[in-house]
Every structure is written in C-alpha cells, then in structure tokens.
Structure 1
C-alpha cells in the first residue's frame, strides 16, 4: 500500500512539474535565431473577417534585420497593431519565419547589429 501511495505522489509531482513547464515556457522563442530591426514605416493594413462577422486588422511589415554578427536578412512579419515608428525589435526567427518579437532598447542590441541600424 505504501508503494502505491508513493507512486501516486511521484506521478502527481511529475504532472505538476510538466503543467508548470507548459505554462511558463514560450515555445515560440525556443531554438530561434535572434535578429534586430528598427520600425521605419507604417505596416500595410490587411483585414480579415471571422466566421461571426467580426473584422480584424493585421499590420504587415517587410524590413531588413541584422543578427548579432551584422548579417542582413529581410524579414516579413505581422502584428496585431501598428507598431511605433523608430522602435527597435528583437525578432525570434525559426525556419518558417518570425515566431515572436520583443521591443528592446538600442543599448541591448549587439554592437555589430547596432552599427548596421544607425
């Protein structure tokens, strides 16, 4: 009986740990390459309609970005709002494109990418 309760307790702890990991880990940013860019233009607006008739606006961007070595790559990505001009973004890029992004300060950008963004 003690072995059974111990097994149940261990399984419970493992399940709690797995649940916590699923809630806190952002899988869109795992194993992604980092690129840095500056918003220099307004996004191109595209509208889509949901099945209930509600209209959603997306803002599409196509801008040059630089990795920590200063190598350039043109990135296409979409945002749910028009992003602030002159903002610096850290882009998380996977094989199929941009998976996520964060706004960063210029000082947080690696030096070689900073030189390209000036």
Structure 2
C-alpha cells in the first residue's frame, strides 16, 4: 500500500489486528497483520488487508484494478510509477472510445487498467 501511495498520492491509514476488537480472539502471530488499510485521494478509495485464509495467499489472474484518471498528466504519471519494476503490457494510447488507455502489471503481480476520458 505504501508503493501505491507513492504512485497515486493520497492519505494512507492502517489498522492492525492488534488495534481492533478482534485482537483478543486472534493468535499472537497475527497481531501485527494489517486488518484494514485505506488509501484515500479525492474520490479514489483503495483498500487492502493482510488477512488471508488458512491456505495462505494464492496469486492468480482473477482480479484487475481499474483506475479512471482525471487528466492526461495524472494517467501518464500513474502509469509510469505503477509499471516501474513491473510490465507495461499495453502502453498508453488513444482508444477508439476517445480515451487515453493502457494496462500494466505492477511489481507485485497486480494487473491495472488505466483510463482517462478526454473532455470534449
């Protein structure tokens, strides 16, 4: 989440398991896990957690995060930062629907779709 804050800006807040009402029911090893993390910037709210099932984390391709940007400068800046250390799958380009569009996989394996619809 700190990487996403560096890329997108905004305010980042964490709540650990140990800081929550769940604390007394959880094993000691989980007290420092992040129960809730929230990155807020204007209308953007991105949430995350360290909490996974007992099977552990299984990375897959079932999730893509879509980011609608408010300017050409913002989409270019976000694309450059999010793709650093990752893969620029589809470089930013003009789309047939009148937007600047591209997608990437960040250094953590998360797929992102970025879009900026130009104002006409």
Verify same fold: TM over 0.5. no
What is the TM-score when the length of structure 1 is the normalising length?
A: 0.26
Larger radius of gyration: 1
- Which structure has more RCO (C-alpha within 8 Å, separation ≥ 6)? 1
